[in-house]
């Protein structure tokens, strides 16, 4: 089980939760965002070293 947190575009942690799988964490992240139109939401996972690693919400758009 890993610890995940959702960060809003202003950098505020909006929720933290322990979740079994990355797929479940992604589903929770999608549901946790209040407004899907606003860019900058992040999902972070706590690493073994205590630091946080993030994934941005690109909606599948590649550069």
Report the predicted TM-score, pTM, of the whole model to 2 decimal places: 0.77
For residue 8, tell me if it sits in a domain: yes
Burial class (CB in 10 A: 0-12, 13-18, 19+), 43: buried
> What total number of domains does the chain contain?
1
For residue 61, tell me if it sits in a domain: no
Domain that holds residue 25: 2-56
For residue 63, tell me if it sits in a domain: no
Length of the chain as a residue count: 63
Span 5-29, pLDDT tens digits: 999 889 999 999 999 998 899 899 9
Burial class (CB in 10 A: 0-12, 13-18, 19+), 25: buried
State yes or no: pLDDT of 57 exceeds 60.
no
DSSP 38: S
- Distance of alpha carbon 20 from alpha carbon 59, whole angstroms: 23
For residue 40, tell me if it sits in a domain: yes
Q: Which two tokens stand for residue 39?
A: 């860019």
Task: Work out the mean pLDDT of the chain and round it to a whole number.
Answer: 82
For residue 62, tell me if it sits in a domain: no
């Amino acid at each position: 089980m890993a610890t995940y947190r959702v960060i809003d575009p202003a950098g505020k942690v909006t929720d933290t939760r322990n979740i079994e799988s990355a797929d479940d964490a992604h589903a929770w992240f999608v549901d946790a965002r209040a407004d899907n139109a606003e860019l900058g939401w992040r999902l972070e996972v706590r690493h073994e070293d205590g630091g946080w690693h993030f994934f941005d919400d690109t909606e599948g758009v590649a550069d």
